[in-house]
Amino acid sequence: MAKELTSREENYSKWYNDLVAKADLAENSAVRGCMVIKPYGYAIWEKMQSILDKMFKDTGHVNAYFPLFIPKSFFSREAKHVEGFAKECAVVTHYRLKNDPDGKGIIVDEDAKLEEELIVRPTSETIIWDTYKRWIQSYRDLPLLINQWANVVRWEMRTRMFLRTAEFLWQEGHTAHATREEAQAEALQMLDVYCDFVENHLAIPVIKGDKTESERFAGAENTYTFEALMQDGKALQTGTSHFLGQNFAKAFDVKFTSKEGKEEYVWATSWGVTTRMIGALIMAHSDDNGLVLPPKIAPIHVVIVPIYKQPEQLEQISVKALEIKKNLENKGLTVKFDNRDTHKPGWKFAEHELKGVPVRLAIGPRDLENGTVEVARRDTLEKQVMSMENIGDLVPALLDEIQENIFSKAKKFRQEHTYTIDSWDDFKKIMKEGGFVMAHWDGTTETEQKIKEETKATIRCIPFGSTKEKGKCIYSGKPSEQRVLFAVAY
Amino acid sequence: MAKELTSREENYSKWYNDLVAKADLAENSAVRGCMVIKPYGYAIWEKMQSILDKMFKDTGHVNAYFPLFIPKSFFSREAKHVEGFAKECAVVTHYRLKNDPDGKGIIVDEDAKLEEELIVRPTSETIIWDTYKRWIQSYRDLPLLINQWANVVRWEMRTRMFLRTAEFLWQEGHTAHATREEAQAEALQMLDVYCDFVENHLAIPVIKGDKTESERFAGAENTYTFEALMQDGKALQTGTSHFLGQNFAKAFDVKFTSKEGKEEYVWATSWGVTTRMIGALIMAHSDDNGLVLPPKIAPIHVVIVPIYKQPEQLEQISVKALEIKKNLENKGLTVKFDNRDTHKPGWKFAEHELKGVPVRLAIGPRDLENGTVEVARRDTLEKQVMSMENIGDLVPALLDEIQENIFSKAKKFRQEHTYTIDSWDDFKKIMKEGGFVMAHWDGTTETEQKIKEETKATIRCIPFGSTKEKGKCIYSGKPSEQRVLFAVAY
């Protein structure tokens, strides 16, 4: 198997693209900016979906499905919302093709023009709040806690597999509440659910906080975010949770009668994570040998590779291998016995490393004699010989250790690349090298904008619970009350 | 709760629409022909998905995701395919909106016109075979067994919730094989998987067979179908599996090198089922009181309703009810304890009947004294008193019985409404009344067309394994070798 990954050091961006392609995660399609998610990449997404879906249901949410298309006029109802999305919309204008009368293939049938254009949803607040108007009359109808798994389209000009694609897959939660407090609590609860998932399953440490006004979701009163640091020192926002206030309720006239008999506008949240998380997963942990997947999200936990010369040896090894496979599967693990006779063990080792299978077991004739197995872990590439007898207990314990180690490593990396900075020169230097910077900011959008122009850095968030501390803005020198988190971001 | 369902006898079509609305399954959206699938309806779809997904994986398939959009030129590559779908396509022509310079809201930005229009996928053969060209070089890459869960759009003029909507949800399998035989076997295997699912989970008996040429999928060499009879005597095709021959391989130039070193075109299948199955489920089993759901597909298996006057009574009942709930949940059932204090028991009974919960348990103060529970089954509406002690065994057994009974009832209905007909007058009469008709046909598309014009009946399928029997065509009187299945269809 031809690995030939560009190293991270040589060209991080090329390493990423190589890895996405060679680990069979995704590839570009014939449609500009739209990717094909290949079976191995999709298996990771399915894992993410099933874990998150359970977390959403455990917190009282149910799934539903709303139309792919949004009437153009709905868009304009919330002024900031349309401003945020109008520039990157796929617009459906016709509903029929016909044969070209000149015999040159098929063309759009101009007689089949829609009266009102339809937008392919970039997000569903507008169509959903138009629906909620019919569903909500009384406080008894609240809270309404709904999630949708769907595809969305944002016509981005510069795309990058998983990180920024014209079409992507996501989930979007849309909830309706009787009070401001309840809606705010919901938005924060879902932020916590996300962070729990990202830290404890994807093994990526995150920093939670508020977005600044200029980075808020179009139509939100407040956007909560969680930010992760990638190995090249850039930040990646993996998801957001929005407190929408009454903006969409007002735009779509959604009122309810309170317990006290008063008519009031409904309070809202929305929150989403996307296939972008796969990009984060790759960039946070993987190395020059390929993917490194935390066991909790790996489609295959263990691969067993037989080492043999004669067919009879394979037969003997297979008996043991299938025993171990069954044993581990009974513990809830996914195990692959790679007995292909088309490839040599070394080739297989490299392939499973590339694909990030957390644990590899190799069994040869001598292992059968000694009752042993060679166990290799993907995260550290370390090998050890273990007793075959205890393998059913040793492997699950090793997987836990790997999960823990991947998280610790990422956390250590972040600690080593997080800086508290007070000098503008140091700030610029770090932003070139990469890393998280905690620095003072005067609170104005103008300064934020200028810092971005000069260094490409943006305020990733105003971290929750960070100490109030008087200081001077890193850029303007004006007074500041608190440090905020800066980084150059994906 | 206001039930007020129109009865099936009075107006079957209105009964269906009422039921879809009142059982909270779906509703129309602001976008013509696109429905909103409400949480309860979506929960049924999720059940269908999870069962089918497992069946697909057990037969060696993996999931992947392909773009929503298809370049217009791809469509024209397979001549019959474009003919079949061109008339009902949603076409994306632009990728940006802008503010109207005259200040009248937002308009399409004419500067952002796509060079080539994109079609919102009505089905994905073309974009997938364009991808397979990159994935398939050698016989070692085959078979390729891929499924996709997705939304598709067909701009139907007359829509009906679940049965025919502009956007619908489905799965589409797309497989590639080295030989004709293998591809044909795959198409038939997936037909069997579908029928297994529909008969054993949805409890709907089906008749398998070949489609006639005129009813084939656009681009298929053969389409296999399974047909079910609804309570109004109309047929409903719930899914199809296609043997595509080498049509798409030729259109997209997908060749492989065989074991013998020869270059050959790849053989293909595709197969799909959709949210239409929810329509079939409703129309096959439900009654004038509401939905009747087979337990294997019901989002809630058992509802427990407390009967009480004093709050202390509720408290005592709750202890027992929660015990029973836990007991049944441990057996893998989904149980709801409906302790809302906003509604009377009678209201709750009616609501759970409307929503088709298979088993209802009612517990009152006297039941506590006697150690009993009142058990009502939804399919027959029968009630019986059971011992509380054995409820953990009795309810699962009852659910099995209900599943079986719903299927038997549907099968009996079909038997009673399947006719072997040799007279044209009888044929016309039955087609007005409804039912399946086995009749002779001369094998020509012309006759098929004329029968359709005169009676609205179509050939649903040429049933598999039906006895060869010489006869005369019901319409033309010309010789025929075999009876085929006719019905008026949805």
Segments in chain A below pLDDT 70: 1-3
**Given an 8 Å threshold on Cβ–Cβ distance, is B117 in contact with A96?**
no
Q: Which residues of A fall within a CB distance of 8 Å from B35? A: 67
Q: Which residues of B fall within a CB distance of 8 Å from A153? A: 68
Question: What pLDDT does residue B52 have?
Answer: 98
* CB-based contacts of A95-104 (< 8 A; 24+ apart in sequence): A95/B88, A95/B89, A95/B90, A95/B91, A95/B155, A96/B86, A96/B87, A96/B88, A96/B89, A96/B91, A96/B155, A97/B72, A97/B75, A97/B82, A97/B86, A97/B87, A97/B89, A97/B91, A97/B119, A98/B86, A98/B87, A99/B86
Two tokens at B387? 């011992």
**Looking at CA atoms only, how far is residue A464 from chain B in angstroms?**
34
Cα-to-chain-centroid distance, residue B111: 42
Q: Which residues of B fall within a CB distance of 8 Å from A108? A: 72, 91, 93, 117
Residues B359-409: pLDDT tens digits? 999 999 999 999 999 999 999 999 999 999 999 999 999 999 999 999 999
How many cross-chain Cβ pairs, A to B, lie less than 8 Å apart? Answer: 192
Q: Which residues of B fall within a CB distance of 8 Å from A66? A: 29, 36
Question: What pLDDT does residue B102 have?
Answer: 83
**Given an 8 Å threshold on Cβ–Cβ distance, is A167 in contact with B96?**
no
Choose the mutation target among A44, A69, A111, A342 for the interface with B, i.e. most B CBs under 10 Å: A69
For A19-68, give the DSSP string.
Answer: HHHHTTSEEE-SSTTPEEE-HHHHHHHHHHHHHHHHHHHHTT-EE-B--S
**Looking at CA atoms only, how far is residue A268 from chain B in angstroms?**
18
**Facing residue for B105 by CB, picked from A29, A76, A140:** A76
Q: Which fold has domain B26-285?
A: BirA Bifunctional Protein; domain 2 (3.30.930)
Looking up tokens 């980075």 gives: A215
**Facing residue for A90 by CB, picked from B27, B92, B146:** B92
Considering the domain delimited by B296-413, tell me its CATH architecture. Answer: 3-Layer(aba) Sandwich (3.40)
**Given an 8 Å threshold on Cβ–Cβ distance, is A39 in contact with B94?**
no
d(CA A324, CA A320): 6
Q: What percent of chain B has pLDDT over 90?
A: 93
d(CA B276, CA B280): 7
CATH number of A418-488: 3.30.110.30
Two tokens at A334? 């996914």
d(CA B328, CA B393): 9
Contact A302, A336 (CB under 8 A): yes
Sign of CA dihedral B26, B29, B33, B36: negative
Residues B95-107: pLDDT tens digits? 999 988 887 789 9
Q: How far is CA A121 from CA A158, A163, A168, A313, B328, in A?
A: 19, 19, 11, 57, 41
Residues B345-362: pLDDT tens digits? 999 999 999 999 999 999
Q: Which fold has domain A300-398?
A: Rossmann fold (3.40.50)
Nearest CA to A266 out of A173, A134, A148, A171 is that of A134
Question: What pLDDT does residue B81 have?
Answer: 84
Contact A483, A436 (CB under 8 A): no
**Looking at CA atoms only, how far is residue B95 from chain A in angstroms?**
4
Question: What pLDDT does residue A1 have?
Answer: 46
d(CA A170, CA A148): 8
Q: CA nearest B27 in A: which residue? A: A131
Nearest CA to A480 out of A471, A468, A488, A490 is that of A471
Question: What pLDDT does residue B287 have?
Answer: 97
- The band of B1, judged by pLDDT with boundaries at 50, 70 and 90, is very low
What is the CB neighbour count within 10 angstroms for residue A233? 18
Choose the mutation target among B106, B113, B154 for the interface with A, i.e. most A CBs under 10 Å: B106
Domain boundaries, chain B: 26-285, 296-413, 418-488
Choose the mutation target among B28, B36, B53, B168 for the interface with A, i.e. most A CBs under 10 Å: B36
Contact A186, A269 (CB under 8 A): yes
Q: CA nearest A165 in B: which residue? A: B67
Question: What pLDDT does residue A82 have?
Answer: 85
Cα atoms in the 13 Å half-sphere on the side-chain side of B489: 19
Question: What pLDDT does residue A83 have?
Answer: 85
**Looking at CA atoms only, how far is residue B238 from chain A in angstroms?**
21
Choose the mutation target among B54, B94, B97, B121 for the interface with A, i.e. most A CBs under 10 Å: B97
**Looking at CA atoms only, how far is residue A356 from chain B in angstroms?**
19
Choose the mutation target among A92, A136, A156 for the interface with B, i.e. most B CBs under 10 Å: A92
d(CA A397, CA A5): 31
* Interval B160-188 mean pLDDT: 98
Question: What pLDDT does residue A103 have?
Answer: 78
What burial letters (b/e) apply to A312-346, b meaning 16+ CB within 10 Å?
A: ebbeebbebbeebbeebeeeebbbebbeeeeeeee
CATH number of A12-285: 3.30.930.10
DSSP for residue B182:
H
**Facing residue for B36 by CB, picked from A63, A67, A88:** A67
d(CA B182, CA B84): 26
* Interval B214-242 mean pLDDT: 96
Two tokens at B330? 């441990």
Angle (nearest 5°) at CA B369 between B368 and B372: 55
**Looking at CA atoms only, how far is residue B134 from chain A in angstroms?**
10
Question: What pLDDT does residue A79 have?
Answer: 81
**Given an 8 Å threshold on Cβ–Cβ distance, is A86 in contact with B93?**
no
**Facing residue for A93 by CB, picked from B31, B63, B91:** B91
Looking up tokens 């039941």 gives: B367
d(CA B17, CA A104): 44
- How far does chain B reach from its first CA to its final CA, in angstroms? 31
**Is the pLDDT assigned to residue B307 strictly greater than 80?**
yes
Q: Which residues of A fall within a CB distance of 8 Å from B167? A: 67-69
Q: Which residues of B fall within a CB distance of 8 Å from A90? A: 69, 92, 94-95, 118
**Given an 8 Å threshold on Cβ–Cβ distance, is A91 in contact with B90?**
no
Query: What backbone torsions phi and psi does residue B220 show, to the nearest 5 degrees?
Result: -95, 150
Question: What pLDDT does residue B3 have?
Answer: 61
**Looking at CA atoms only, how far is residue A392 from chain B in angstroms?**
25
